[in-house]
Chain A
């Protein structure tokens, strides 16, 4: 099984810098630029590879790129932005890549820049990733010294400049238009779309915002070709995926596996099954803005095109496991408190609705809830559905709630019936033991 993104990573987590990266084929394909590969060839290869955005949306990268104005009349400059604001709870895949192989991101961004004739790049990194910042800064300095950055690539007139922007917190920065505002030195509130960033983005210029893991895939596609890349996957989406597991399993961690690996395989073969004394109840497949999956969904291929609509979406591919010793209502309360705190406050349904949802769930945990509260929660999943809010934060917050109301309804009802949380003592004890 091939693991192109992670096979060279040091098991101890130490970084690979320039010499090692070049020794394993890094930056080699840049020599083919200008002679063998024109920008439109790179675009075409990425389109044909079936690469889809790894940040959670799963949008086809080639399609996204096709909206960028090209040719001599296209606005200048254009920008490439790496979205390294990895704040989706349960998600830690981009950190693994940036800490272990910082040059992979630099090379991916140069290639994306060349393909789209975008001469400036920014890595938008969450402020808490200090180690990634340090290592990326060193990689950028090395790439400048070697002439991969800041000078025309040999045989071309294309020159790429790259800057690292360390952010200062707030989950909403991961939303691409909020990220653009943050990068411009403003409050990170989302922008109205259209216009989409591909035409009017950073400082009004055409801009591509791409998840970190997505950008790591680009050198692989260019180095090895689209047939090879598509064969890495078990489904029609190309490539591998960095999957992860957190929660009470025997062996939490991350693994690079073919796209389309099933949750069961991930959980049992790689995660070592559930931890001693706890049983599986459900999982969120990729961060907390996804819907719960239960036992019956464990054999679905985890990719961007195989999920039936009622199961939702893969998200970031780093799953969080709900076990039988953890209260599903308390679990969802933690998620909704997070969303309420992280709402940017720009639009009313999100700013007012999410704290309301959190308060309702709190009432369940504290034994004050009635069956009316259950209907109120259900109504919120409609009031905060896509189309009612400015961006995807609140609809994302409703995905786990809605699915929890579907799969764990009897647990909500039990809270009402016994006037409190059936798990409260037990789970407190359990947590101290773990």
Chain B
């Protein structure tokens, strides 16, 4: 075997190892400038292109891009992360460091609806712990978990800015104030 073909073979092996590793731990192909077909939908791509226009450099739109794709796909999977990273021309690792920092970016699947229960001081005084307990009683789900039917994920959230109507919670994008535990079932009717 000539020296040249040996190194070729080594290269192939390396690529194969790399392919496997990338499945396991998100080593991005993007960072090594290999081609990977971007799977953003036309709508997503259009929205991302609009977002980028607001910033002097593409990466400025990183958070907008994560939230936009999340709106369409529910959460940010490794594949979504690669799609966005490639669009923004940054590495997937770089983008993941952002995605994992911000709590409104979901790097794990969530239910069809997400309930954010405010646990900051004004809501604590007015009984947010009882609200959390009621959710657990009704839907058998703790903070950070999703119901087995995939209907609801429950997360804690920092002060929602509705302190005069504490305790407050937000389901998807709707804010509810003065949430007494006995009102919970009624509120949840809207979110199937």
Contact = CB atoms under 8 A, between A and B. Distances in A.
Contact of B121 (A253, A320, A434): A320
Given A92-B163, A184-B59, A87 B158 contact: yes
B103 A186 contact: no
Contacts of B102: 127, 167-170, 188
Given A185-B62, A245-B164, A89 B159 contact: yes
A87 to B, nearest CB: 5
Contacts of A171: 158
Contacts of A135: none
Interface in B93-110: 97-98, 101-105
A169 B60 contact: no
A417 B24 CA distance: 53
A203 interface: yes
B37 interface: no
Contacts of B162: 92, 95
A323 B129 CA distance: 18
B63 A185 contact: yes
Interface string A377-412: 000000000000000000000000000000000000
Interface string A75-116: 000000000001111111011000000000000000000000
A87 B105 CA distance: 17
A431 B122 CA distance: 12
A187 interface: yes
A334 B164 contact: no
Contacts of A165: 54, 63-64
Contacts of A344: 101
A342 interface: yes
Interface string A184-196: 1111100000000
A166 interface: yes
Given A165-B54, A342-B158, A335 B101 contact: no
Nearest to A171: B158
Contact of A91 (B98, B103, B159): B159
A89 B57 contact: no
B61 to A, nearest CB: 6
B104 A127 contact: yes
Given A168-B105, A188-B101, A434-B127, A254 B56 contact: no
A326 B103 CA distance: 29
A187 B166 contact: no
A329 to B, nearest CB: 13
Interface of B: 54-57, 59-64, 66-67, 88, 97-98, 101-105, 116, 119-122, 124-127, 129-130, 157-166, 170, 173, 175, 181
7 contacts: A127-B67, A128-B170, A168-B66, A341-B158, A342-B158, A432-B127, A432-B130
Interface of A: 86-92, 94-95, 122, 126-131, 163, 165-171, 182-188, 203, 244-248, 252-254, 284, 288, 318, 320, 323, 326, 331, 334-335, 338, 341-342, 344, 431-432, 434
Given A94-B161, A184-B59, A188-B102, 19 more contacts: A89-B122, A90-B163, A92-B163, A126-B161, A127-B67, A128-B160, A128-B161, A163-B54, A167-B104, A169-B157, A185-B59, A185-B60, A187-B98, A247-B126, A318-B163, A320-B163, A338-B120, A338-B121, A431-B130
